Amino acid sequence: MLAISSIEFVSVEFALFFLLFLPVYWVAARSRRAQNALLLAASLGWLAVLNIRFALVLVGVALFVAFMARRIYADRKHARIWFTLGVVGVVGHLALYKYAHLLPALGNAQWLLPLGLSYYTFQSISYMHEVYTGRIQPWAWNEVPLFLGFFPTITSGPIWRAGQAHSVLGTHAGADSQLPARFCAPRRTMQRPALALVLAVLGVVKVWWLSGWVEEQCIAQVFTLPAASDAPGVLLAVYAAAMQLYLNFSGHADLAIALGMLLGFSLPPNFAAPFWAHNIREFWGRWHISLSTWIRDYIYIPLGGSRHGFARTQFNLLAAMLLSGIWHGASGLFALWGLAHGLALVALNCGDKLTGGRERLAALGLPGRALGRFFTLSFVAFTFLVFRCATLDEMRDVLAVLASPDAWGVPTASTLAGVAALAALWLAQPLVAPIVERSACALERWPRPLWCLPLAAAALLLLVMAPSGVPGFLYANF
C-alpha cells in the first residue's frame, strides 16, 4: 500500500486558495445551489490536483451511494435489502484498498489509498442509514459527492453525519439541515467568524508550533534509534508521542471546524481535553469524538449495546473496539490495540459492578481523579505506540530500553525540560476551550477592520517560535 498524500491546511498554497475562494463563495450567497457548485468544484479540484484517481474514485462511490439511497427511499418493501447492499458495497470498497494487499495473490500489488477513504465510508453509511430510517429524504445527485468530498473534512475529519449526532458535548447538527439546496432553505451565514479565526490560529499553533516542537525535542532521535537513548528519554518520548498525536490531530480538526464555520457550516467537535479523562471510558468520550460516537451508534448499539445483560454488553464492547482497531490498519498491532482498549473498558465495567457503582475512583476527590488521570494517560500513551512503531519488533526495541536496569540513570537537562513542557501542555488542556471562547468574545468587540492586527501578531509570533518545516497529518495513514 502506497503512502497517502494529503491536503495540508497549514501551507501557503492552501491559505492562498482559501483566501481567493472565500469571497467568490460569499458573492454567491443568494443561491445555495451556486455555493454548492463552487464547493463541489473546489473539493474535487483539490483531490484531482493530488491525484486524479482520488477524485474519480470518490465520484464513483458517491454515485453508488446516491443510487442506493434512492432505491432505499423508493422501494420501502425491500429497503433493508437495498441498505444492506449499500453498506456491503462501501465497506467492500474500503476493504479492497485497505486490506486486499494482505491476500497472497495480491501481496505485491501497490495500492494507492484514496484520500479520505475511511471518512467518506463512514459518512456514506450514515447517509444511507438516515434515509433507511426515514429521518431524511435523498439529496440531489451532486450533493452526495459534495458531502463525501467536502474539502475541510476529507483529509482529517471530523466525520460529518447526514443526521444529528450526540456526544458528551451535546447534540450536533448533521449535514441534512445545512447542505442540501432545498426550496426555501435559508441563506447560509458565517458561523461566528471571530471564533472561527481564533480556532484557526489555535489549529496552526498546535500543528505547526507545538506538534513540531514536541517531535523535534522529545521524539525524533529516540524512535529513530531507541537503543542509543537512556530510559528516562525513552519514557519521555512515549508520553510525548501520544501528546504529539493529539496536538497534530486536534489541530487539524480545529482548522477543519474553523473553515466550515467560515463557509457557513457547523461541523461536530472532535476532541474535548482527552488526556484529562480520569478513566478509559471517559477518554473515549473525549477522543476522536466523531469516530467513537459513530462506533457506538453503528456498531455497538446494533450489536445489542447494553440491552441484553452484563456479559453480552462486555462482548459487544470488545467486538466494537476490536473492529475499531482493525479499521485503523491491517497490521495485527492495531487489532491488539483495539482489543487492549476493549479489555480496559470491560475491566472498568467489571470494577464498577464489583464496587457497586460507576466512577468510584473519582468519588475519592482530587487524589482519586489525579490517580485515575495518570493511569489513563499512561495506558493510552503505551498503547498508542502502534501509531509510532510500524512493527512489533520496533515496539520491543522501545520497551526493551525501559525494561533494562542499566538504562536508568539521572535524567539529562534536556529530558527534564521536556518533562516540564509536556506537563505544562497536559495541565493546559481544560483551559483551552474557555480561553478560546474569551478570545473570540474579545475579538468580536473590536471593529472588524482591526481584526487583522491580533491575527498578524499571532502569525509573526508563529514565524519566530515555530520550528522549521510543518508536520503533516500524522493520522492520515490510519
Catalytic residues: 328
- For 189, the grid coordinates are 451565514
Q: Please, which residues have CB within 8 angstroms of residue 177's CB and are 6 or more apart in sequence?
A: none
For 12, 40, 48, 58, 138, the CA distances from 45, given in Å and listed in that order, are: 17, 8, 5, 12, 25
C-alpha 128/C-alpha 394 separation (Å) is: 41
DSSP string over 391-415: SHHHHHHHHHHHH-GGG--PPPHHH
Residue 170, beta-bridge partner list:
167
49 burial level (CB within 10 Å; 0-12, 13-18, 19+): middle
- In terms of residues, how long is the chain? 478
Which cell is 468 given?
A: 522549521
171-187 exposure pattern, b = at least 16 Cβ within 10 A, e = fewer: ebbbbbebbbbeeeeee
Say if residues 135 and 366 touch (Cβ distance below 8 Å). Answer: no
- Nine cell digits for residue 55: 477524485
Q: Which grid cell is 267?
A: 461541523
Query: What is the C-alpha separation between 169 and 203, in angstroms, rounded?
Result: 19
